[in-house]
Structures are given as C-alpha cells and as structure tokens.
Chain A
Amino acid sequence: MNPILMAIILVTAIGLIGAVILVAASIFMYVPVDERVEQITAVLPGANCGACGCAGCADYAKNVVENGAPVNKCVPGGAAVAAKVAAVMGVEAGASVPQKAVVACSGTCGKTSKKYEFEGIKTCQSVKGLYGGDGACTFGCLGYGDCTRACPFDAIHVVDGVAKVDREKCVGCGACAAACPNHIISIIPEPVKNPKRPRPVVLCQNKNKGADTRKACTAGCIGCMKCAKACKLGAITVENFLAHIDQEKCVGCYLCVKECPMQVIHIPANEA
C-alpha cells in the first residue's frame, strides 16, 4: 500500500478513535455544574480582591451556590452586585454597607521628622524592622507604600509622607489594612443612617504620653481628654493616651473636632 496513504489513514484513525473516546467520556463522565455559579461569576466585579474571604470571584460564586454563603459579601460590588447575586439565587439581598479605608495618621512631612536616613529596600515592612521605622513617631504611617502595592484598585497613595485614600476608588476590601505593618489602616463603614453628618475619626495611633507624642509630631493625639469631656454621648474613650471614637454611638455633632487642640480629629468623608 502507498506509504503516504497509510500514514494519513493511521493518523486519521487515531484522531477519530480519540474523538470517539473523548465524546463518550464527556457523556459518561458528565459532572453537572450548577449554572447559577456561572451567572453569579458573571455579575461579580471580577477584581478577585478577596474581600469576601474567598480565593476569588469564581470561588465566592461557588460558595454562594454550594455552601449558602451570604449574597452581600462582595465589598467592591456593594449593594448593586448584592442585589444581582440575590436575584440569581432568588433570595433577599440584605443590607450591604459600603466601607472605606481610613489611614489613622496625620503626620505629614512638615509635622513630623525622620530619625535616620533609611537606605534599605524601600518597603514599610523592612523599614519597620529597623528601630520601628525611620520616623520620629513609631506608630504612624511609614510612607513606603506597602498599601499602594497591595491595593488592587489603585486607591491609596503616599502623599506628603502619609498614605492617602482615594475615596472615589476605594471599595473597602481591606488589602491595604492587611499590608500595613503598623496596622494604622482601618475599614470604616460609611454612615447609612445620617449620610449628611459623617462620623469623625481620630487620625493618630500614637500611644505614648502626651509630651513624647508632641516631641515626635505636631499632629498627634496627646490624650488630653478634651474631646472625651466635650462629647455628650460618651462616644469617645481615651486609652493609652489615644482617643477613640465609637462609630456606633457617634451622631456627628463635631464638638470633638472643634475642641481638639492638636486638630487630629478629622472627618474623612468630607476630605475626599
């Protein structure tokens, strides 16, 4: 027989046999995939940020369908996506509170100083390992942008030595909060009850005594208790020379903002 013909027949035969086997296999070994998983994956933002606690958007969709995970866990998508996911699943969406990251440090370049020149790898993590950072205040923003690199939405940047959140872009996924070695970034829910009076936040993490704080930074909380006394609702507590505002109790009267001698209590929502 003609060898060329023989070769063509052989390869065709192998291909055909393989095709038959594969078709048979896909019929006999068919695994039913819940089509809702694909529908949910389609409505999710696809950022794979992990704010929901799953490995990615597809994983979250699978969790919703198979393990009954809550439909409103997608932080970047917010209420709109929660409603779409709920529609696919045929359940009520539940409230989805938008959240934003807040950097609790006001120590910009003019207000605090460096205690040494750092010449190592330019990350917060590594500078933190050397005497708690190169800033005079060891609690504040290190300014080497670990949060910027962690942010999947390009929403946080180091401006004037302190990380600043772009509240338009921020979705509150918490990637920056996890990356910050000083743990000064917190994820704070947007005020839903009274959106016109957003809650103030103490933008300082310095737990040293007032005099030491003042030496390190001119924009630090010195624990003078003025805000705690001014607050009529008892929403402010001072612990370790650092004021903390309970976001649940606060109604946004801004008495503390006026009272603070260091001007360290800010209203992040108004500063965007």
Chain B
Amino acid sequence: MQEFFAANLPYLLSGISAGGQYALIAIGYTMVYGILRLINFAHGDVFMVAGLVMVYTTASLPMYISIPIVLIATVVLGFLIERAAYKPLRSAPRMSVMISAIGVSYLLQNCALYFTGGLAQTYPAIPFLSKSVVIFGATTKMVTVITPILTIVLVFVLVALIKYTKIGMAMRAVSKDFETSQLMGIKINSVISVTFVIGCFLAAVGSLLWFSNYQSIVPTSGSMPGLKAFVAAVFGGIGSIPGAVIGAFIIGICENIIKGVGLTTFSDAFTFVLLIIILLVKPTGIFGEKATDKV
C-alpha cells in the first residue's frame, strides 16, 4: 500500500489539482443546469477564452492588472452569451436551447481560431503559481497545492452565498420551480444572469489554475475539460454543488492514476465510461434529487 502510494504520489497530486480545476468548471455547469435545465456546451469554451484573454493581456500589461481583467472579461462574456443566445429561447423547446449552446461553442472556437491564427499560444507563467515545491519527496508546482485549497474556500463561500443571501434563496427557488418563483415576484432574468456570472467567474479562476499547469492553449483546449467537468457534475448529481466538487475530484484523481498506470489513451475514455455507469446505475448522481415525470 505504502509503496503504491509512494510510486503514485506525483499522479495523485496532479489528480487532486486537476480535480480542483474540474470542480471550478463543474460548478458552472451544475448551477446553470439546476436553473435552466440546459447543458451549457459553451462553458468549456468560455474557460478557453479566459485563458486566451490572459495570454493577450499579459503581453502588454503587468500581471496584477491582467488577472482582474481576465476575471471581469470572462464574467462579461458569460453574461452576454446568456443574454444573446439563451434568453431569446426561454420558451422554446429544450433541444433548441441546447443547439444554441452548441452554436455558441462553435462560434467561440472559430473566433479563437481567427484571433490566434491557428497557432498554439503559450500561457504566461504566473510567478507565484509556477514556483516549484517539494511535497513528500515529489516535486510539483505551487499551483498543485493552491488549487484544492482555493477550490474548497470558493465552494464554501458559494454555498454560504446560496444558503444565506437573498439572491441565493432566489436561486434555490428558481431551480425548484421556474414558473412558481416567477409568480412569487422573483426576477428570473437577473437570477439567471447572476448564475452565469458566478459560473463564469469560477471558470476564469479555473482557467488561471489549469493553464498554469498545461501551458499551451489551442481553440479546442476548452472542450475536453468542459465535457469532463460536466461528467463530474452529472456524477455528483446535477444541480448539487458539493456533488459536483466531489465528482470532479474523483474524476481528476482516477484519470491521473490511469495515466500513471500507462493507459494514457484511455484516460479520456474512462471519464465517459464512468458517466455511462452512473447514468445506468443511479441517473440522479450521488447527491441528486429524485426527479419525477409528470404527464
């Protein structure tokens, strides 16, 4: 056991850090799904755009200005996407909204392709995060240590926000019953916007951490982490924030251990195998609420 632990420690560490990063993205998915019942396929691409914004701002601005700019720009992007692409379709069938999300994802990827000219961009090294540290004899970057801590802190803040503030209460109400909460005088549109803003903020933080680890960005580099984060959200029970976080850590760790065993080809496939198993065994996920179908 100890030997296994010692041999796999680097993978375990990178698994925990990947898990934290997935968790930050997964929260965006799970919150949006909880409220709109929409798989926001564009969320992974928002994450990628956040990375690209960082690349372009650090080219001309110092780090302490560009990080806030990245966070703000991502949040604004998320807000605009919701207003432009999802709001007009609020009464349309769910399939149309999902198609619209796919269209947005396609648009963001193509825009990224246009601006980068198809070349992989190198993410700037954030001095504090890229420092090397040694944990139990395994050398790794500072970001590996920071990620789980930061993730957990942010999740606690978010849970408190949802539990104790007025807007949080509104969010819970809307995710329970869309129409009734509207009748109770909750401004649906602002609640949805806040959801997107929070989701995109966390995705931006996630992108800072993720790309400090994997330093190259191409237009499609958001789609795989995005899908995995979504799987994490489903695994934990969609709509549940703690569920998404736990699911993300499980996926991150398992995936990196699979890489460690030498089956790198299957590390992506594993995530989807897990998804299908959970959908068959317990479709509502670990912490999900049971949904009832009404005619």
Question: Do A and B assemble together?
Answer: no
Residues of chain B whose beta carbon lies under 8 Å from any beta carbon of chain A: none
Query: Chain A interface (Cβ within 8 Å of chain B)?
Result: none
